[in-house]
Each structure stands twice: as C-alpha cells, then as structure tokens.
Amino acid sequence: MVHYADDVKIYTRGGDDGTTGLYFGGRVEKSSEPIEVNGAVDEAQAVLGWARSLCEAGSRLNELLITIERDLWVLMAEIATLPANRHKLVADKSLVSQGMIDHLESEIDSLSLEIEMPKEFVVPGETQLSAALDVARTVIRRAERVAVRYPLENSLVNPYLNRLSDLTWTMARWAEGPHHRTARVHD
C-alpha cells in the first residue's frame, strides 16, 4: 500500500493557464513540441506498464519492462529541459546515454536467439501479453514520429525510441510462448 503525506495534493493549479513547468525551470505551453513528445512517451510508458501487469512478478520480461519504464523517465527529463539548461543533464539520470541504447540492443540480441523469426507478417493477439507489447510498440513508434519533429542537438532520444520499438516487437514475439521459441531457449 502506498502512503501519501496528508499535506501533499495532486493538484497544484499551476497548469490552469495552459502552461507546464520544465525540468530545471521554465514554463512552456502544454501544446508545445517538448510536451507533445513527453505526452506520447508517457502514453508509451503507461502501455508498457499494462504489459508488465500481465507478466509474472520477477520474470525476465517483468524486470526488463521495469528497467525500460525507468529509462523513459530519463528520456522525459531530457525532453523537458530547455536547450539553455541541457548542460545540467546527467547521463543515465536525466540524459539518454549510449549505454542505455546498447542495453536495448543487447536485450534484442539475447531474445532474438531464443525465438524463431516470423517468416510473414505477424498477426497480433497470440497472447494477452504479446498483444499488449504490440500495442506498446505502436505507441512507441508514434512517440518516435513526434520526437523527430523536436530535434535536440546531440541527443540520443530518437535512436533510443527506435531501438525500444524494435525491442518491444522482439519481446512480443518472445511472449507468444515456448512454441514460438527455438531449441536454443536457456530459461
């Protein structure tokens, strides 16, 4: 059970004027590009959470999804920082790093060794978990399309989202079950 302090309120009224606060200060319109990006990423994170709710606690995919959800906080912090404050960002805490992308690639490679790649287009819905991951992939792809319209100098946000959609597709295929996996499974 989560305990909330009695004096903490969920509402601040700060956004009633149509603006929202940014990391390291400043305010922008809620319809501004960085907020559109973060809104799309927030949706992706929520769908990944839904997929995680379908996983067995402590399972390989559950743990991987927790890591990804936390990575998305880092990505959203980077997006929610004014260009003038980017020098304050810290890799892996508020700035997407190459190591975060490398981790996604490593997971893609690892899971790919354990599945037989489809030889035709995938029809989503083999299992509830794989279907949720396929929905997450489509939301991540939309977040990526929104993010490319808000280019940040020296940012790895777009490569991260691109790799994340690849990983989510791979996780969905893996989640379809042992009958879709190769003999190389090492669970």
CATH code for the domain in which residue 36 is found:
1.20.1200.10
Residue range of the domain that includes 59: 25-180
Q: Is residue 17 included in any domain, yes or no?
A: no
Predicted confidence at residue 4, as pLDDT, reads 59
Look at residue 3 in the predicted model and tell me its pLDDT. Answer: 61
pTM over 0.95: no
State the DSSP string of the chain. -----TT--S--STTTTSEEE-BTS-EEETTSHHHHHHHHHHHHHHHHHHHHHTSPTT-HHHHHHHHHHHHHHHHHHHHTB-GGGGGG--BTTTB--HHHHHHHHHHHHHHHTTBPPPSS---S-SSHHHHHHHHHHHHHHHHHHHHTTS--TT--HHHHHHHHHHHHHHHHHHHT-GGGB-TT---
Has residue 15 been placed in a domain?
Answer: no
Domain count, the chain: 1
User: Residue 2 falls within a domain, yes or no?
Assistant: no
Q: Is residue 34 part of a domain?
A: yes
**Is 116 inside any structural domain?**
yes
On whether residue 13 sits in a domain, the answer given is no
pLDDT per residue as tens, the chain (187 positions): 566 566 777 777 767 677 677 788 788 777 788 889 999 999 999 999 999 999 999 999 999 999 999 999 999 999 999 989 999 999 999 999 999 999 999 999 999 999 887 777 776 777 999 999 999 999 999 999 999 998 888 999 999 999 999 999 999 999 997 655 444 444 4
pLDDT at res. 45: 96
16 lies in some domain:
no
136 located within any domain: yes
- What confidence score (pLDDT) does residue 7 get? 72
Q: What is the pLDDT of residue 181?
A: 47
